[in-house]
A and B are shown apart, each in its own frame.
Chain A
């Protein structure tokens, strides 16, 4: 077929290709997201965590992300032993020192000082089909622990991009190099039994998700994940107290966790943009594992746009979990060899509530400042049927933490 371009429009259309045909060079767009997080547990751990996240969107729509996080921890952390009516003396993990906990207090290991560095790289790019793929790598290191992981995934779009399906797979390798070597689990700490200097763990995780735009103002996201890990899961510094009938400690044992864990979780998120300009977001997470922990998380946020520049986002979060099968507040009798046990309060039956708000200020179209304040209160139900004096002593799973975060975002 021969096209006859006798209208001026047809001739101009061809001519305009000289300045419209090729889209002008699209300068890559950068986004810097930086924050300093201060985490403070009452009488316990303090953490300072600066983080920098740099994102570059290129002309072809690919996004390269680089994230650097440094954690600096100071303070004391519960060592797992129960409080007692008498002072308790513990040997530090290195075996070279001791620390004494006064009567009536939860034993805290104040040699707990650590700095962790983490570097993450991600690359997300479109395919000619319009779908996208993602690749990621992550490295983190601290003086007694190192972790490396790789991940990959795909996002498929359907239904005029109103529906997105994504799936991904990640592999992780961890190595623990505990101070003083790897303790033999479920053995008396007095014996200082060791099984080498380090131990490892490998994990694989699969993720499947769907994001659906419900209408012009709302969307829902559902994720399902399955993770399996095998190897060393034990916290080498956590102990379990052996108590007599009166509730007084007679010995301390190293904790010992199973050497595998299978976890599954379901996550649902609903976001709605309200007609007056605010945004409401609710999320629910259900997680379960073969250690017997079943947890529910309910999270709600409301972004309240006070003006063109100011926004306030209050947040309320509930968390509840059941205890791991091998969790025990203390031991009543000497454990058998290889028996799994832990008194780590994070594995106890507990519930927590977070109340907070984030205030953000749009400095200019390219810069945003924010301040986040959150208070976390956690309590456990394990003070029931404690032997003897234990019923009157404090429990380590009660936790009170304050989070303050300063953020600065810049687009350039």
Chain B
């Protein structure tokens, strides 16, 4: 567990702003209340929830449940009701994406190193990993789960978004009407509009001028970004993005560099933005079909 688990509270024009560090990101909570004690209590609830999920689903912390599952060498592990619910959702995404969205494909990271000057991996190295990819190979029986030896799960594309929604429900449990914004390193969720039905002003990166941000008025729901425009390999003039097709082990062709989506929850926004990237050149038409607001960096 990280030693830096502190929450800093400061007043801001809305009410209070609390900041903390979790899941490798700077996180913030905005609360529209004049009461510093309430702001501290509720922001603490958010931070504790995010830290709890980090301690469960981190791939890097040896005390995390997911780390232990990934290192169980084919042994059965306990499956909590909470994780079973997440897995049931992943089942649906896997089906709807016809297997493109697959949390077991993270092991391809062992051979792909994405920086502009890196070399492409050898085809044999990639194909040697393909038998260890496939969400349906993850065995579940009641309250236990087993990964075949050599397989690993990477929930990185879901947990942060899920955490934003779950953390909000911790506040809503007692303060349903309090206007709150939870921002976990750019994946964010609001409880609803601010008082007097005012929207939250949220900055979204602009494709052409990466330094500038466009202000978006967000009344409700969540916002999530997938993709990393800085992670790619340039090989013989061709750009290989970091998003990998689980069937071929190769980067998705013509995928946008980054997609930001607004949806009713942060988790849905995250899934839609991931799916859009996986659609490659069809990303824009996919998002248009979903009738959601989106911003793409191509």
Q: Chain A: residues with CB nearer than 8 A to chain B?
A: 7-9, 11-13, 15-16, 18-20, 23-24, 26, 29, 57, 59-61, 126, 130, 160-162, 213, 215-219, 271, 273, 275, 277, 279, 308, 364-366, 411
A365-B5, A365-B47 given; A12·B96 CB < 8 A: yes
B42-73: CB near A (< 8 Å → 1, else 0) gives: 00110100000000000000000000000000
A160-B177, A213-B34, A219-B34 given; A19·B82 CB < 8 A: yes
A301 CA to B172 CA, complexed, in Å: 32
Shortest CB distance B63–A (Å): 19
In the assembled complex, which residues on chain B have CB atoms less than 8 Å from the CB atom of A308? 8
A26 CA to B10 CA, complexed, in Å: 26
In the assembled complex, which residues on chain B have CB atoms less than 8 Å from the CB atom of A279? 36
Contact residue range for chain B?
35 or more
Q: Select the stretch in B226-234, B236-244, B267-275 that faces chain A.
A: B267-275
Shortest CB distance B44–A (Å): 6
B7 and A365 contact, CB distance less than 8 A: yes
15 A-B pairs whose Cβ atoms sit less than 8 Å apart in the complex: A7-B289, A8-B290, A9-B272, A11-B92, A16-B89, A19-B86, A19-B89, A23-B169, A130-B176, A160-B195, A162-B195, A273-B34, A275-B11, A279-B36, A365-B44
Number of A-B contacts (CB under 8 A): 111
In the assembled complex, which residues on chain B have CB atoms less than 8 Å from the CB atom of A59? 173
A9 and B170 contact, CB distance less than 8 A: no
Chain A: CB-nearest residue to B292: A9
- Is B257 an interface residue when CB atoms closer than 8 A count as contact? no
Give 5 new A-B contacts, CB below 8 A, not counting A8-B272, A8-B289, A59-B173: A8-B275, A23-B170, A216-B32, A365-B5, A411-B44
A213-B34, A275-B11, A365-B7 given; A57·B264 CB < 8 A: no
In the assembled complex, which residues on chain A have CB atoms less than 8 Å from the CB atom of B14? 216
Chain A: CB-nearest residue to B6: A365
Chain A: CB-nearest residue to B177: A161
Shortest CB distance B186–A (Å): 20
Chain A: CB-nearest residue to B271: A12
Chain A: CB-nearest residue to B85: A19
B19-49: CB near A (< 8 Å → 1, else 0) gives: 0000000000000101110000100110100
Shortest CB distance B32–A (Å): 7
For the complex of A and B, 5 pairs with smallest distance between CB atoms: A15-B92, A23-B169, A61-B174, A19-B85, A18-B88
A61 CA to B178 CA, complexed, in Å: 13
Which of B32, B34, B267 meets A16, CB within 8 Å?
B267
Chain B: CB-nearest residue to A160: B195
Chain B: CB-nearest residue to A157: B177
Shortest CB distance B140–A (Å): 13
Chain A: CB-nearest residue to B18: A365
A59 CA to B45 CA, complexed, in Å: 12
Shortest CB distance A154–B (Å): 18
In the assembled complex, which residues on chain B have CB atoms less than 8 Å from the CB atom of A273? 11, 34, 36
A23 and B166 contact, CB distance less than 8 A: yes
Which of A12, A60, A216 meets B92, CB within 8 Å?
A12
- Is B263 an interface residue when CB atoms closer than 8 A count as contact? yes
B11 and A277 contact, CB distance less than 8 A: yes
Which of A7, A20, A24, A216 meets B290, CB within 8 Å?
A7
Shortest CB distance A62–B (Å): 9
A42 CA to B195 CA, complexed, in Å: 53
In the assembled complex, which residues on chain B have CB atoms less than 8 Å from the CB atom of A218? 34
In the assembled complex, which residues on chain B have CB atoms less than 8 Å from the CB atom of A20? 162, 165-166, 169, 265, 267
Shortest CB distance A29–B (Å): 7
Which of A12, A29, A219 meets B93, CB within 8 Å?
A12
